Amino acid sequence: MSYAEPQGAGGETHQVATGAHPALTTQQGAPVADDQNTLRVGPRGPGLLEDFHFREKVFHFDHERIPERVVHARGYGAHGFFELTESLADITRADIFQRVGERTEVFVRFSTVAGSKGSADLARDVRGFAVKLYTREGNWDLVGNNIPVFFIQDAIKFPDVIHAAKPEPDREFPQAQTAHDTFWDFISLTPESMHMVMWIMSDRAIPRSFRFMDGFGVHTFRLLDAEDRSTFVKFHWKPTLGLQSVAWNEAVKLNGADPDFHRRDLWDAINTGAFPEWELGLQLFDQAFADKFDFDVLDPTKIIPEEILPVRVVGRLVLDRTVDNFFAETEQVAFCTQNVPPGIDFSNDPLLQGRNFSYLDTQIKRLGGPNFTHLPVNAPRCPFAHFQQDGHMAMLNPKGRVNYEPNSWGAEGGPREDPQRGFRSFAAEDAGPKSRVRPESFADHYSQARQFFISQTPIEQKHIGDALIFELSKVERPDIRARMVSHLLNIHPDLASTVAGGLGLTELPQAAQAARPTRQDLPPSEALSIVKRGPDSFQGRKLGILVTEGADAGLFEALVTAATKGGAVVETVTPRISGSVLSDGTTVPGNQNLKGGPSVLFDAVALLVSDKGAALLSEHGAARDFVADAFGHCKFIAFTAAARPLLEKAGVPAELDEGCVPLAQAKDAVAFIETCGQLRYWPRELKADVAALA
């Protein structure tokens, strides 16, 4: 079999109809020959409108849920602006990229993918990062994620991957989780997903905040200049405060302590004036680069490492205003990948081509009709004129006698085409037979997955292994677990052995058959590591101070001053919400009651207790958990001498590590906040695991 015949992305032959399996058909009953690939012109050409099977399949999928989104149902949005810092007038006629310093209004919606609207924020999941830019020449929807690749190469498989990830249809659970049989069954039969698996099993899938995560356009797009010359582009949003995620155990407890943790974080940041900010970076390249690059730039399961093609920063995104009404704005905002202004165009990425075809159906179904652009959050901010009329909930209709073109009514005849300013597609020359195929250049499914894994620090590699063990331990069928390990053997033998050991496999399976052997020569990329791209300060983070009666007032003031100067937020945790009286007689109100303010809510903690307070807290389960969790989650802990008994009762080893910082005088507070810029003391977890295995 050649790779171009109907088959899976990894080269394996698909199951065909037998006596035990009826033939797959359309809703009209027509048997389907290939359910893996959309119909396109040549292996790398554009998709064709006549692909009725894809149209029917995606159309039905887009209409499966009423009224919430099928995917990205749980979201949170905010308003802001994009400011251009470097002109791109030489490579694109897109108006938004012309004038340095000009600001463009934006609306951004962050989301989880798999969970329902009522699920919790800290699910292990991809995060949507969708940006609507209200440009002078129409709305531009850059609809991306916090991960630069996706599970599938062809949009015809999108209903399948989401069906597999969603709650199983016979029982409607688990919610907002992929730790179940149907997801891993699909993934283990879909080798093209293996790069994405590395990302979602990494800490990228449990970000600390929307403010501390990347955004990606995922696909390869085009920029067109005034002469319609093309430059390929990949879009990146990079947080100015650096990357940060949480530990898995911490995510589980955060979902219980505050299922709205990400929402609250964004709301608080904007309303306190700590406006979240990202840089817009572009990877720009021409056809010559695309031709010589090791992988196909149209493959949405691949990246271009930043070490090979640096990211050029051209602007900044700032969120400075929360919504006035959640439903009217965050729920009713409609993003469509096909919404691009003149000067921005599409590539033949088959997943992008399918998204362009699909999203309009989604919005029509969810928002009740074709006039969703009349809603304020979706309406362009620039002048617009067309002959579209009527329909459900029409609020804007053309006036006068003429509602068609061409017409001969002169100035009263309404708008006309503008060949100069109007949108023009790149005049690509595509040729080839009509067929359902994957190009040969899409066939390597393991090399970049391996590159991602070896680019991680040891603690990040450990977390990937832990995540795979956790997820696959929830899978009931042993054959699915073993099948996943067979793929991991093609990615990295150490990872496969770790997961196999954690699952209790008595022997390793044979490595999965690979359409292309895994390349061993791809070097690590530091840009792929969260730890290596963390912040250099504690700015934008939150310090929790556990305060008891009689605590040292001078140390409290020193901690608050140092944290505030460092750009951090301080919250007090007290045994009673009314607060605690300090050593100088002043009362510090509690932001959190101890029973409702666990340490998972904070990035670092300080134990500011008196001798009497420590003795009381040592017998308090919530206090012991506060300390034990902070220590177990590798957070930096400042403590007074009086806190020693509490540390001991919480199970903290008597020989404290460098992540536990004594607090005796004011200068210690300054040093502690500087130390907190590292965010976590990860050697603690690595040491603990080694000790447990010894």
Give the length of the chain.
Answer: 694
Residue-by-residue DSSP string for 509-549: PPPPP-SSPPPS-PPP-GGG-TGGG--SS-TT-EEEEEE-T
**Which tens digits make up the pLDDT trace of 575-594?**
999 999 999 999 999 999 99
CA distances from 199 to 177, 283, 496 (A): 15, 20, 16
Q: Is the pLDDT of residue 322 over 60?
A: yes
Alpha-carbon distances of 418 from 111, 216, 273, rounded to whole Å: 37, 32, 43
Give the C-alpha separation, 108 to 120, whole Å. 20
Give the separation between CA 119 and CA 77, rounded to whole angstroms: 16
> Does 385 reside within a domain?
no
Catalytic entry in 37, 79, 139, 145: 145
CA dihedral 318, 323, 329, 335 (to 10 degrees): 10
Q: Is residue 224 part of a domain?
A: yes
Instruction: Quote the pLDDT of residue 291.
Output: 97
Confidence of residue 58 (pLDDT cuts 50, 70, 90): confident
Do residues 110 and 145 make contact, with C-beta atoms less than 8 angstroms apart?
A: no
Q: How confident is the model at residue 17 (pLDDT cuts 50, 70, 90)?
A: low
Amino acid at residue number 217: G
What are the pLDDT digits (tens) for 374-389?
999 999 999 888 888 8
State how far the Cα of 689 lies from the Cα of 109, in Å rounded to an integer: 38
Quick one: tokens of 687?
Answer: 């040491």
| Distance, CA of 107 to CA of 112 (rounded, Å) | 17
> Does residue 260 belong to any structural domain of this protein?
yes
Q: What is the pLDDT of residues 515-571, one digit of tens each?
A: 999 999 999 999 999 999 999 899 999 999 999 999 999 999 999 999 999 999 999
Q: What sign has the CA pseudo-torsion 206, 209, 214, 216?
A: positive
Summarize pLDDT for 448-478 with one digit per residue, the tens: 999 999 999 999 999 999 999 999 999 999 9
In a domain, 108, yes or no: yes
Residue 104 domain-assigned (yes or no): yes
Print the domain residue range for 622.
Answer: 537-693
> Cα angle vertex 57, ends 182, 378, to 5°?
100
Mean pLDDT across 618-647: 97
Instruction: Tell me, letter by letter, the H, E, C secondary structure of 109-125.
Output: EEEECCCCCCCCCCCCC
Q: Are 215 and 129 in contact (CB under 8 A)?
A: yes
The DSSP bridge pattern shows strands 637-639 and 604-608 to be parallel
Catalytic residue list contains 37: no
In a domain, 471, yes or no: no
> What beta strand segments (E) does 95-216 contain?
103-112, 127-135, 138-145, 215-216
Q: What is the pLDDT of residue 1?
A: 26
What is the pLDDT at residue 107? 98
| Predicted pLDDT of residue 152 | 98
* Statement: residue 654 has pLDDT above 70: yes
CATH of the domain at 235: 2.40.180.10
What is the reported pLDDT for 50?
A: 84
Q: pTM for the whole thing?
A: 0.92
Answer yes or no: is pLDDT of 11 > 50. Answer: no
Cis check: omega of the bond before 535, within 30 degrees of 0: no
Instruction: Say whether 145 is catalytic.
Output: yes
- Domain stop point among 374, 401, 431: 374
- The predicted pLDDT at position 10 comes to 43
Range in 146-155, 420-429, 582-591 the model is least confident about: 420-429
Determine, yes or no, domain membership for 26.
no
Mean pLDDT across 202-216: 98
Q: How many CB atoms lie within 10 A of CB 14?
A: 11
Give the Cα separation of 540 and 266 in Å (integer): 11
Residue 7 has pLDDT above 80, yes or no: no
Contacts by residues 659-664 (CB-CB < 8 Å, ≥ 24 positions apart):
659/634, 659/635, 659/683, 659/684, 660/631, 660/636, 661/636, 661/637, 662/638, 663/555, 663/559, 663/606, 663/608, 663/638, 663/639, 664/640
Predicted pLDDT at 60:
74
**Which residues have CB under 8 Å from 224's CB, separation 6+?**
92, 93, 230, 231, 342, 343, 344, 345, 424, 426
Domain limit, last residue, from 334, 352, 374: 374
Mean pLDDT of the chain: 93
Q: Which of 72, 262, 445, 633 is catalytic?
A: 72
User: CB-based burial of residue 173 (10 Å sphere; 0-12 exposed, 13-18 middle, 19+ buried)?
Assistant: exposed
Domain-embedded: residue 556: yes
Q: How much is the average pLDDT of 288-300? A: 98
Alpha helices, H only, 260-329 = 261-271, 287-292, 326
Q: Is the pLDDT of residue 690 over 60?
A: no
Cα 567 to chain centroid, rounded: 25
Flag whether pLDDT at 692 surpasses 50. Answer: no
What's the CA gap between 231 and 221, in Å, rounded?
Answer: 8
Q: What is the pLDDT of residue 2?
A: 32
Write down which residue in 374, 408, 436 finishes a domain.
Answer: 374
pLDDT, tens digit, for every residue of 323-376? Answer: 999 999 999 999 999 999 999 999 999 999 999 999 988 898 899 888 899 999
- Tell me: pLDDT of 393 over 90: no
| Total tally of structural domains belonging to the chain | 2
Residue 15, pLDDT score: 55
Can you give the CATH number for the domain in which 580 is found? 3.40.50.880
Which helix (H) or strand (E) is 632 found in, with range? Answer: helix 621-632
Residue located via tokens 């970076």: 281
> At what angle are helices 248-257 and 458-473 packed, to 10 degrees?
60
| Averaged pLDDT for residues 624-633 | 98
